[in-house]
Amino acid sequence: MLIESTAYASRWRDVAPSAKALFALAGVVAAWVARSPYALAALTAVLVLTALVGARVPLRAYAATVLPPLGFLLISCAAMLFGPDAQGDWRWSGAMLPVVVHTALRSLAMLAALSGLVLSTPMPGLLALMRRLRMPELLLDMMVLCYRMLFVLRQAWDEGVTAQSARLGYRGWRQAWRSTGLLAGQMAVQVWQRAAALQMAADARVCQGALRFLPVVYPQARRQCMVAALAGALLVALAVGDRL
């Protein structure tokens, strides 16, 4: 929900998704090609500033979005630096430090490239782009249904919390835990019921044809793609120059 609301509030919301995807792809390619830590750090900084300054993504929303993958990356790096030796004892492996630093910086650059894309492009735009790229229609239909269910379940959850709060369901921590458990159990039932209703609707149309939506027109898509291609080419050129 945070990612979607941030994408709708982004200044680049009306920019063609193909242009933003092209720039993100160039960032991923540049991160893969670059070799030195300085180039990877500079590439990461450029991609982060592009999202924060260019797309005007709020810093708090950006940090909240990248925090979970950063935690996963931190755990992975720690597992590479601390590991069992031949005797089964856990020791510090200093020889792996250059590899860990390079892997972490490359992952950060790719994360920055993809984060800039998803935080500035609403989900319908991404779905339309994937449909143009000939992604399987079944996969796109599943993504649409999951996307819709997120909003339905969030509304149901908020209404349940409001009703429980009106009955003093969160008066103390013990009562709050009990109310949360009851609400979670009720939500599980609602998920099952709504999934069954969606399945009946799919069976009613014999699951033929894809879900269609009114396409969004981007009058300046060609010019925006050219600008994105030029900016992406500069990133790739920076990475190639570093590798050479």
pLDDT (0 to 100) of residue 207: 61
pLDDT (0 to 100) of residue 85: 63
pLDDT (0 to 100) of residue 104: 92
pLDDT (0 to 100) of residue 84: 63
Low-confidence ranges of the chain (pLDDT < 50): none
pLDDT (0 to 100) of residue 215: 73
SS3 helix, strand, coil % of the chain, rounded to 5? 75, 0, 20
Q: Which of 107, 111, 126 is nearest to 20 (CA)?
A: 126
Cα–Cα distance for residue pair 127/26, rounded to 1 Å: 20
C-alpha triplet 192, 198, 201: angle, nearest 5°: 145
Q: Do 157 and 187 meet the contact criterion of CB atoms below 8 Å apart?
A: yes
Residue the block writes with tokens 């990356």: 73
Question: Residue ranges per domain, the chain?
Answer: 2-121+217-243, 134-204
pLDDT (tens digit, 9 = 90+) per residue, 37-65? 899 999 999 999 999 998 999 999 999 99
Query: What size, in residues, is the chain?
Result: 244
Cα–Cα distance for residue pair 51/37, rounded to 1 Å: 21
Q: How deeply is 151 buried, as exposed, middle or buried, from its count of CB atoms within 10 A (0-12, 13-18, 19+)?
A: exposed
Within 13 Å, how many C-alpha atoms sit on residue 41's CB side? 5
